[in-house]
A = this chain, B = another copy of it.
Amino acid sequence: MSAHREPDDTRRGQIVPIGGAEEKLRDPAILRRFVDLCGGRSARILVLPTASQLPHTGRRYAELLTELGAGEVRALAVDSREEADAGDASVGEATGVFLTGGNQLRLSTTIGGTALASALRSANAAGTHIAGTSAGAAFLCEHMIAFGRSGSIPRADMVTLAPGLGLTNAVIIDQHFRQRDRLGRLLTALAYNPFHVGLGLDEDAAAFIGPDDRFSVLGSGAIAVVDPSRLSHSSMSSAKRRQAVCLIGLQLHILTEGATFDLRSRIAEPPAAGESPRAAAGGA
């Protein structure tokens, strides 16, 4: 039930959507920050490769996270609703969970409504950090972009939303944002009900969303933040299919590494001058 409740998420783990294709070799800042966040050598991280059809995806991420210093990493093979219904006791003990890319409808159709989905929600509420890249990012929120068409102009019927994992209902997430020309479909999704903040995540860009609903940006890509709260006009309810939708009064911010955004007050802050958000060690 999502009936009205006051935010009481002080213990909640971070929610970390990543726009896909995060850097894995030269300077894997996003994955390294996630490992550190989960406790570094004390981290117990589960990799959930359900979105992917490729057998090696889970193993590859497990190796990457281990190389970055995570104490314990395990790939959890869940390919059927039966397996997802069996749940996994290790979810409750993980300090972090990482959802790989692939197809977000494979995640929602396999996990949705099962014991595993419930365990993931409970774990995040109790402090487990949950990251997802590409399809894994889309799945994190309550209203998930399942698929849609490319293009920068919003058009009625351009995007299909589906219920996601529901860790947050403050944002709607799109990924591979600039690379796949997805501004139009994100604006369409927001125009249906201008309640959410839209996050358009480029590749190699991540939002680390804290329990206070503030997030910071990390990675070489940018995040387009669309805030429709001051929308004064929308033609969505009268637009015909494929017709361009007129929207007046959207706020747009392009946030780069180190910038922050508060999803409650809707206030963006630029990166602090002279401060590198990356770990001081190494790097050029």
Contacts and interface: CB of A to CB of B under 8 A. Distances in A.
A259 B104 CA distance: 37
Nearest to A146: B192
Given A125-B5, A169-B1, A191 B237 contact: no
A142 interface: yes
A206 to B, nearest CB: 19
Nearest to A247: B109
A251 to B, nearest CB: 12
Contacts of A144: 193
Contacts of A146: 192
A213 B124 CA distance: 25
How many copies altogether? 2
Contacts of A118: 4
Contact of A157 (B7, B117, B160, B229): B160
B3 A168 contact: yes
Contacts of A193: 108-109, 112-113, 144, 162-164
A166 interface: yes
A153 B181 CA distance: 32
A50 to B, nearest CB: 10
Interface in A112-136: 112-113, 117-118, 121-122, 124-125
Contacts of A231: 81, 113
Contact of A143 (B147, B163, B233): B163
Nearest to A249: B81
A191 B113 CA distance: 11
Contact of A112 (B112, B167, B195): B195
A113 B4 contact: no
Contact of A3 (B3, B12, B81): B12
B2 A229 contact: no
8 contacts: A1-B169, A2-B168, A105-B237, A113-B195, A157-B160, A161-B161, A162-B192, A163-B195
